[in-house]
């Protein structure tokens, strides 16, 4: 069995879809782009099969794209990365404050 991907497979709609995948998931990581692809495909499949949104599902995907570009310029992967960094910094700060408090109490006891 021979499989062939012709240039007609890469039409404008599919190219735009790949840009949306990368923007939603995150352009800085392969994992983010894969997550974006899965998320966008799940949303488009769900919305396109819903009776009320059957005609407007492309507009909904476009709205998701615009909102992500405006509010999450690094995509979902960038948002997750920033969230993990904040959690790690809070834990480090909490440990540092606990150490400082113990150091201050030990100095006062002396």
d(CA 69, CA 41): 18
Q: What is the pLDDT of residues 14-25, one digit of tens each?
A: 788 888 888 999
Report yes or no on whether pTM surpasses 0.75.
no
DSSP category for residue 10: S
d(CA 8, CA 18): 15
d(CA 75, CA 27): 7
Ranges of the chain with pLDDT below 70:
1-2, 5, 9, 97-110
């Amino acid at each position: 069995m021979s499989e062939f991907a012709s240039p007609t497979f890469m039409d404008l709609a599919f190219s735009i879809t790949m840009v949306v995948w990368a923007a939603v998931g995150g352009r800085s990581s392969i994992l983010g782009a894969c997550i974006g692809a899965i998320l966008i495909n799940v949303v488009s499949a769900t919305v396109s099969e819903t009776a009320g949104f059957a005609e407007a599902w492309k507009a909904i995907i476009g709205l998701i794209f615009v909102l992500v570009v405006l509010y999450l310029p690094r995509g979902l992967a960038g948002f997750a990365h920033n969230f993990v960094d904040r959690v790690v910094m809070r834990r480090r700060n909490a440990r540092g404050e606990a150490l400082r408090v113990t150091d201050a109490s030990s100095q006062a006891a002396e």
